[in-house]
Amino acid sequence: MRIRASSFKSIKKMEEKIYFNLSVSQIPRILGLCDRNIMSPTYGCFDRDYWHYKRVDVPFSTMQKNILTLALVYKNKDTPFYNKKLVLDTIKAGLDFWVKIQHEDGSFSDFYPNERSQVTAAFTLYNVCKTLQLLPELSDK
């Protein structure tokens, strides 16, 4: 039995659609992780254990990587989140909070105060840079 290359392409396309739909279905959950109360000192924080439940001493900085996911759905016309002000405001807040929690040397506290994690800096910086590439209007902040 021979399988044609076109069959593989259609299977791949179907898989991409499944993953896309699953990803988009999780956006409300990501938005729910973020402190969107503009009056809160943790406005823009994606670590709900830190800002809401107060279970930890420092925010898990790696959670700020969610801004890239939001930027991707904000720019994608095939999602219900395309060009939505709520999504853009959450991205801006996430970027501001990321800058706020960064140490002077560029590192972050991730699990304990004054941790100085360079790994977190690298992973989150990638997401921030890609977000700013997608939304260059936020670059001059």
| pLDDT value of residue 8 | 66
- CA dihedral in degrees (108, 113, 114, 117; nearest 10)? -40
Alpha-carbon span 47 to 79, nearest angstrom: 25
Angle at 132 between CA 126 and CA 96, to 5 degrees: 85
Q: State the average pLDDT over residues 111-120.
A: 91
6-20 per-position pLDDT tens digit: 666 777 788 888 888
